[in-house]
Amino acid sequence: MTPAETRAESWSESEAAAAPASEPVAPPVGGGAGDRTPGGAARADEADAPGAAVATAATEAAPSGEPGGADGAARPRRWTRRRQDLTVFGLFLLAAVWVTSQIWVDPAGRVASLYSSDPAQVQFFLAHSVRVVLHGEFPFFTEQFNYPDGVNLMANTAILALGIPMVPVTLLFGPAVTFVVLVTLALAGTASAWYFVLSRHVVRSPLAAAVGAWFCGFSPAMLSHANWHPNIISQFLLPFIVWRVLVITRSRRPWRDGVLLALMVTAQAFINEEILLFTALACGVFLLAVLAQRPALWSAAWRPLAKALAICTVLAGSLLAYPLYVQFAGPMAYHGLSDAVRDYGNDIAAFFAPGSPTIGGDERANVNLAPNYSEENAFFGWSLALMAVGIVAWLRREMLVRALAATGAFFAVLSLGERVSWWHRELFTGPWEWLVRLPLLDAVVPTRFGLITSVVVGILLALAVERSRTLPVERRTLRTLTVAGLVLALLPIAPMPLKVTSRPPVPDFITADRWRGYVGEDQTLVPIPVPNMGHTHGMRWAASTNLDFKIPGGYFLAPRNGNTGDPGRFGGRPSGVGRLLEEVASTGRIPKLDDRQRRRSLDELRHWRAAILVLPVGQHHSEPLRRTVEQLVGPGRRELDVWVWDVRALTDQPT
């Protein structure tokens, strides 16, 4: 039952007894099911819990004379709740299609205009999900790239919870189409999930819920990740996890609620563990902020909270024990990130600039305000940043608003990283300097803490729209002022279609299965250049065949020097032939190789169990690359749209 419906009905004692206390219902203050037992006695363990306090604070200021209130319930409704919901969900889906429209034109031939590596990696992981379902392949580790060392997929966000349900789409249309489907559904689904939770449990106005949910789903931070990281923007479980955490502080059924929370936590762990960690930290900071204001709430909340978290820990821990063992102690596991990534932080000025993929955004103006264009995790713009501060000042008497403000500010500060800067000028050392080496936090990218602040701002917007109805202003004037304020705040950061560029197609040699005549089950196809962070087309080739052949190298996180337990880095063991061909691909200069270099290159090809080397005819600097490879292994021959070197006779020889 929704908060709006509870005010449209008369809560009798029998109805109060029938309502499950664990449901997130916020009844009218002083007379709801959460305030009294069937016998009429107040239940301190529910009404005084943080969850109940938050639910009450979220709705106590709402007027009763508006549609959905006690007076409005008697009037016939032209729009049912279901119709309202479907309309909002449809608008969110249309917005997501608009954002991804340039990719939809040609999913296989278009990619993010600045960085193409992450989409290729995601497509590889999607193809891995196909092998898990069709061939029963081990889900948490693979040797299909970075052969023969392999890749620890649990340590690389293999998005199994997204890839496995999408296997039919991947089989029918390919991983490139699945990628854009996931991005579209992630944006629309996250906004829709926040709308559902906000409209049922935080505000009564559908407009207020839609505004808050819009920002949660289409904030500049979400748009920044949309072109590259569907795992990060797939946050549709987070609103339900957050609300379930609040529910268990006043639950009559903590064991059941703990089981529900455990299942959602487990699913989110197979989407993105970093976002799950952020959610847990945000819930903890928010509850502490509530308890700091009302310490007496703890005496009622700790029992159900402890029971629910205990069963959640046991169940989720049991389900995730083996995957986490593989992640942290299995082959190719790493501990912590490289210093370059660990130091990614937001510039203070980033909170006042509009994001690049928005109407008011400017890529050139945002240089140095974020680590790169895929990590613009703040970028609210001046108008929204000032409005958020104004909302907190206006509603500062509400406990909920103060707790939200404390949570958003805390993670905004952490997102600044180890060195706090203003317009790229370092000011002083940030608090992240003292947290970065803690377990789990050593694998966090600090700039992404701004994602939590974005959600807080979205909820504040919803509360502001809801509370604005109580202002002593004529109705038409109030609507005009509300709309004007929202336009002023949100129009500069309204989403634009993601910028894309064309990318070379998968060679006909691959799509026509001509490679099958060369490559055996335990051999590799070596794309030229050898796949790495900057050259991921070979990963797309393999993904287009659902990983039917292995490749050396690739773009992934692995322990430095390939030793399990080392800090993480991008790519596997250093490769001499890989670096050689990468330099030729970048410069177009043909090196003169000696016998020693040839012998070392052949040793690497043997280590990879290479069957063929493949160079697309249309590859940038293809002629210098071809002549360099000929110095290593002899002349190749053209087959369809590639140059092929059959090196089985060389690599089958003992080292």
Cα distance between the two ends of the chain? 71
At residue 377, φ and ψ (nearest 5 deg) are -95, 15
pLDDT reading at 202 higher than 50: yes
pLDDT confidence of 70, banded at 50, 70, 90?
very low
For residue 371, the model assigns a pLDDT of 86
Of these ranges, 46-50, 300-304, 566-570, the one predicted with the greatest mean pLDDT is 300-304
For the whole model, what pTM was predicted? 0.88
CA torsion, points 351, 354, 355, 357, in degrees to nearest 10?
170
Q: What is the pLDDT of residues 490-548, one digit of tens each?
A: 999 999 999 999 999 999 999 999 999 999 989 999 999 999 998 999 999 999 999 99
| Interval 457-479 mean pLDDT | 92
3-state secondary structure 411-455: HHHHCCCCEEEECCEEEEECHHHHCCCCCCHHHCCHHHHHHHHHH
- Identify whether the C-beta of residue 155 lies closer than 8 Å to the C-beta of residue 121: no
Q: What is the pLDDT of residues 164-200, one digit of tens each?
A: 999 999 999 999 999 999 999 999 999 999 999 999 9
Q: What is the pLDDT of residues 350-409, one digit of tens each?
A: 999 998 889 988 888 788 888 888 899 999 999 999 999 999 999 999 999 999 999 999
Instruction: Report the mean per-residue pLDDT for the chain.
Output: 87
| Interval 604-627 mean pLDDT | 95
Element (H, E) at 152: strand 151-152
Q: What is the pLDDT of residues 398-453, one digit of tens each?
A: 999 999 999 999 999 999 999 999 988 889 999 998 998 888 888 899 999 999 99
pLDDT reading at 21 higher than 90: no
At residue 367, φ and ψ (nearest 5 deg) are -60, 135
For residue 52, the model assigns a pLDDT of 67
Other Cβ atoms closer than 10 A to 154 = 25
CA distance 155 to 335: 10
